[in-house]
Amino acid sequence: MDMLTEKEKMLQGKIYDANGDSDLIKERKYAKNLCFAFNQLPPDEAGKSHDILKSLLGKTGSFFEILPTFNCDYGYNIELGENFFSNHNLIILDCAKVTFGDNVFVAPNCAFYTAGHPIDATERNKGLEYAYPITVGNNVWIGGNVCVMPGVTIGDNTVIGVGSVVTKDIPSNVIAAGNPCRVIKSI
C-alpha cells in the first residue's frame, strides 16, 4: 500500500499536516520570499513585479494585474484567466487550486481561503488541516473586504457585494451579498 505524502493529501482534499512537513514548509518559504520581493518593489518597476508573479503563480493570462500587497501560501495552485485585476491587499491561501476565469475584478482587502481546520479540537490542536478548491467564473466582480471560504464556486457574470463572507456556491448571473453571502437578485 502506497503512503501519500502530505502534499498529495493536501492536493486531494484530505486531512494533512502542513506544519510538520519539511517539503510543504520549504514550498511556503519560497512563495513567501517571492511575495515579499513583489510587495517591496517600487511602483515604477511594474515589469519586475509581473515577472515575479509569473514565476510564482501556476497560470496567468497574457494580461493581469495584482496591486501590492499580495500574499499566498504556495502560488502554484493559483490560476488567473485573461484580464484579471486585483486591487490592494489580496490574500490567497492556495493549499488547493484557486481558479479565476476571464475578466475577474477583485476589490481591495479580499481573501480566498482554501484551507480549513477540523472542528474536533484534538485533531485541530495537532496542526492538521484540509483544503478544498475555489473556482471563480468569468466576468465576476468581487467587492471589497470579501472572504471566500474553502470549496466555493462563484458562477459567471456574478457580483459579490462588499463585506460578504461566501460560504456556499453562488450561481451565475446574480448579485449576492451578506454574511453569509446569499443571492439578492438575478441580473
Name the residue type at position 40. Answer: Q
- Residues designated as active site: 117
The answer to whether 131 and 111 have CB atoms below 8 angstroms apart is no
